[in-house]
Amino acid sequence: MRFDPLKDRVLIRRIEPDEISPGGIIIPDQAKEKPQEGEIIAAGAYCKEVVRGDRVLFSKYSGTEIQVNQEDVLIVSEDDILGVMRLTQDEEDESINV
């Protein structure tokens, strides 16, 4: 099944955080909060700031959760997106040299 968001809505796939903290502690599922970071997998026709493939940060309680092709995704208004995460020039240079 294909889902196309309307107007200024976007479809976001949440990006799950690491299960181990930087200190090496394993974080149980009950202690985790839902991630507020995701990848845009579809955007409506009126979206001006974001496009498919952008990695974004969105408001904690925004959107509506649905299931598309057995995958949990989130429908969010473009206004609820706080920002787009992009590589800096130094990070881009490092990824090219790898």
pLDDT tens sequence across 77-94: 999 999 999 877 776 666
The 10 Å Cβ neighbour count of residue 23 is 5
The pLDDT value recorded for residue 73 is: 94
pLDDT at 97 over 60: no
When the candidates are 2.60.260.20, 3.30.1320.10, 1.10.3720.10, 2.30.33.40, the CATH number that belongs to 1-20+31-85 is: 2.30.33.40
- Of 94 and 9, which is predicted with more confidence? 9
pLDDT tens sequence across 17-48: 766 667 777 766 665 667 789 999 999 999 99
Residue 40, burial from CB neighbour count under 10 angstroms (0-12, 13-18, 19+): buried
Asked if 52 and 41 touch (Cβ cutoff 8 Å), the reply is yes
User: What is the arithmetic mean of pLDDT over 55-65?
Assistant: 91
